[in-house]
Amino acid sequence: MNPPSTPPLATPGASPAPTPRPLVPRRPSFPQGNSPLRRFDRPTGVTSYTSRVGAPPARRPLPSQLAATPAPAARPQLIGRAGTQGVRFVYLGGLGEIGKNMMAIESGNDIIIIDCGVGFPTDEMLGVDLVLPDVRYLEERKQFIRAYFLTHGHEDHISGLPFLWPKIPAPVYGARLTLAFLEAKLEEHGLAKQVELRLFKPGDRIQAGVFNVEPVRVNHAIPDACGFAIRTPEGLIFHTGDWKIDHTPVSGEAIDFNRIAELSKEGITMLMSDSTNVEVPGYTVTERVIAENLDMIFKNAHGRVIIASFASQINRIQQIFDSAAKFNRRIGISGRSLERNSTIALKYGYIKAPEHVLTDIRQINRLPDNEVVILATGSQGEQYSALSRMAAGDHRHIKIKPGDTVVLSASVVPGNESSVDSTVNNLYREGAEVIRNREVEIHVSGHAGQEELKLMLALTKPKFFVPVHGEFSFLVKHARLAHSMGVDQKNIFVAEDGDYVEIVGGQGRLIQNKVEASYVLVDGSGVGDVGNIVLRDRQAMAKDGMFMVIVTVDHKTGKILTSPDIISRGFVYMRAAEDLIFKSRQEVKAMFARHNDKYPMNWEQIKRLVREDLGEFLFQKTQRRPMIIPVIIEL
């Protein structure tokens, strides 16, 4: 399917721009040495550089699991190709949702991409592992893509690249830790030698087509987080990335407000700012608070301390290492992603720890309990995570026992509450004591609260404002906050995935629903082969089960040869519902005879009618609607 054509940007002085979207939802808002990095290491002594990003490399063959999108009949025109100098901001993920962050900025014959993340499946997406942005819009323009720019190394900002880069190849820019995490993912997909990774530091200036991109240091829950000051034909654009203010960060330096103030003096045409914590009053608490509480937990624990955290929470991992060293405990790590990220962070100095602190998880049981810390994945109750397996008694090396203290050092992502509660209950059944963030402050957000968002608006003084990163209700509230800080309401655009904002000649407008921005689902090794129809089938089977009817007929006469066979899965237990099964067989024989008389040996029509009639019969008997699968076999 070709994406809908998007019009070229209007020339200044042409017809007036449409009225911007008002600051209310257009639909009901919803809640909530041999370095592997050697290829992009900076030459010794270089502190600043400018590089020209040329045309992207020729497209390589796609991995077997990714099918190429058919070429469109006609390529929609890029903005500015008629001689205008406008800029278009295309939102492909992260607006109106949490995660899956991705956007494109285009002008003339040049496009840059900011982030390329994944989302995580909702409860309705049965069997789905990951959710990717739909990049058909960019596939049609791949020859104009100059570079990717990554704000930081979290999954929802970088993990889509191994799946999508083969479709839309271009050099990838990022800070050291971001590229290190990305390279590990690329190696898993066999792409590490194909993707060109380019290192930047805050203050560097990178030319990518008509765009000049400057990384600006911000604070987040992971080191090396950056926003971007992007100089365009329509002025200076500032994208904050995920950010907060932390004057005493665990790793690195504080947010560079001096540089942001200098950029403000240049005049910021548009600000795009993280909306995740717009509903949180005040300021986000510093990470240093966590260190004090971890020390208290370690001091009071008489047995093992087991801590579950996000694998990318490098600052939190550093704090756990610090507390372990202080209280003479050894750390064992359980969980592939935690092991990988910790190894990378230790290698490049983002985690500092004495060598004796870290030990092999397979040897941890040889130590006294009061000398043990286990760092595990599973803070969200993920089914196959290390902590969930411990709670269920299925972990290969660790068995929960009385005296264990389990710490969930993460906030619960909306939708994961039941999984987390189930894990906690199982831990208590095994005799552990569980500490959650609601009881002791053992997790702080990596996102700015209301007062920090106000400060960013006051400091940057943007002409235009687009709230990004968050549920639609968050975007609306952030827009209202911007208006209260003096941004003209007609210059505030509340966009969602599939919308784009254009600025031409100093005039801005929001264009809604013009870009394909649906979900691409990853299920096992399949990418994009699970769509809405497959999901509906899975949901139907999960809700009411399946009822299969197999009818064997004579291929000459079309008459039934034997009594229909019935298979029930997830609907009724056949031995306990023999009467229903018997009556269903009788009904099927009568239905088949009736429809075969009317449509002789028209098997597709007969199967459709049997499916409908049998569905009504079963609903009358059970008030349930299983998925009915009629099968006709000719002999």
Sheet containing 87-93: order of strands? 197-199, 172-174, 145-149, 110-114, 102-107, 87-93, 500-504, 507-511
Please report which confidence band the pLDDT of residue 14 belongs to, taking 50, 70 and 90 as the band edges: very low
Which has more confidence, 550 or 521?
550
Which region among 367-371, 471-475, 487-491, 587-591 has the lowest average model confidence (pLDDT)? 587-591
The encoded tokens of residue 134 equal 């739909």
pTM of the complete model? 0.75
Query: For position 532, what pLDDT does the model report?
Result: 60
The closest of 314, 148, 305, 332 to 222, measured between CA atoms, is 314
Q: Which residues pair with 130 in a beta bridge?
A: 522
The encoded tokens of residue 392 equal 């269920």
Cβ neighbors of 543 (< 8 A, separation 6 or more) are none
The encoded tokens of residue 269 equal 């045409």
Query: For position 635, what pLDDT does the model report?
Result: 84
pLDDT of residue 156 exceeding 50, the answer is yes
Residue entry with tokens 């018997």? 582
Query: For position 38, what pLDDT does the model report?
Result: 35
Query: What average pLDDT does the segment 72-97 reach?
Result: 69
Tell me, yes or no, if the two domains 38-80+88-282+445-523 and 288-435 fold the same way: no
The closest of 162, 157, 151, 167 to 184, measured between CA atoms, is 162
- 3 state SS of 523: strand
pLDDT of residue 122 exceeding 90, the answer is no
Query: For position 546, what pLDDT does the model report?
Result: 83
Query: For position 539, what pLDDT does the model report?
Result: 62
Do 472 and 442 contact (CB within 8 A), yes or no? no
Give φ, ψ of 249 to 5 degrees: -65, 150
Cβ neighbors of 522 (< 8 A, separation 6 or more) are 118, 128, 129, 130, 131, 132, 163
Distances (CA, A) of 36 to 64, 148, 348: 26, 20, 11
Over residues 338-380, the pLDDT tens digits come to: 999 999 999 999 999 887 899 999 999 999 999 999 999 999 8
* Class of 288-435 in CATH: alpha beta
Query: What average pLDDT does the segment 333-337 reach?
Result: 93
Q: Quick one: DSSP state of residue 119? A: B
Do 203 and 214 contact (CB within 8 A), yes or no? yes
Please report which confidence band the pLDDT of residue 242 belongs to, taking 50, 70 and 90 as the band edges: very high
Query: What average pLDDT does the segment 491-520 reach?
Result: 91
The single residue of 152, 157, 443, 447 carrying the catalytic annotation is 447
Distances (CA, A) of 201 to 77, 103, 140, 250, 556: 34, 21, 31, 19, 77
Over residues 285-326, the pLDDT tens digits come to: 888 888 999 999 999 999 999 999 999 889 999 999 999 999
Share of the chain above pLDDT 70, in %: 82
DSSP 330-364: EEEEESHHHHHHHHHHHHTTSS---GGGB--GGGG
Task: Please state, in angstroms and rounded to a whole number, the distance separating the CA atoms of residues 324 and 336.
Answer: 21
So where are the chain's domains? Answer: 38-80+88-282+445-523, 288-435, 532-634
Query: For position 536, what pLDDT does the model report?
Result: 64
Tell whether domain 532-634 is in CATH 3.10.20.580: yes
Which has more confidence, 353 or 573?
353
Do 378 and 392 contact (CB within 8 A), yes or no? no
Provide long-range contacts, Cβ within 8 A and 24+ apart, for 600-608.
600/558, 601/558, 603/632, 606/630, 606/632, 607/631, 607/632
| Angular region, 169: left φ>0, alpha ψ -120 to 50, beta rest | beta
The encoded tokens of residue 293 equal 């509480």
pLDDT of residue 148 exceeding 70, the answer is yes
DSSP 160-195: THHHHTTTS---EEE-HHHHHHHHHHHHHTT-TTTS
> Among this protein's residues, is 239 annotated catalytic?
no
Query: For position 569, what pLDDT does the model report?
Result: 83
Over residues 178-198, the pLDDT tens digits come to: 999 999 999 988 999 999 999
Q: What angle do CA 163, 164, 166 make, to 5 degrees?
A: 95
Which has more confidence, 34 or 2?
2
Please report which confidence band the pLDDT of residue 60 belongs to, taking 50, 70 and 90 as the band edges: very low
The closest of 529, 532, 536, 470 to 163, measured between CA atoms, is 529
Query: For position 16, what pLDDT does the model report?
Result: 42
HEC letters along 440-502: CCCCCCCCCCHHHHHHHHHHHCCCEEEEECECHHHHHHHHHHHHHCCCCHHHECCCCCCCEEE
Over residues 373-426, the pLDDT tens digits come to: 999 999 988 888 999 999 999 999 999 999 999 999 988 877 778 889 999 999
Sheet containing 330-334: order of strands? 330-334, 372-376, 305-308, 405-408, 433-435
Share of the chain above pLDDT 90, in %: 58
Over residues 428-472, the pLDDT tens digits come to: 999 999 999 877 888 889 999 999 999 999 999 999 999 999 999
> Among this protein's residues, is 447 annotated catalytic?
yes
Average pLDDT of every residue of the chain: 84
**What CATH architecture does domain 38-80+88-282+445-523 belong to?**
4-Layer Sandwich (3.60)
Query: For position 575, what pLDDT does the model report?
Result: 81
pLDDT of residue 252 exceeding 80, the answer is yes
The single residue of 134, 274, 497, 544 carrying the catalytic annotation is 274
Sign of CA dihedral 448, 95, 152, 491: negative
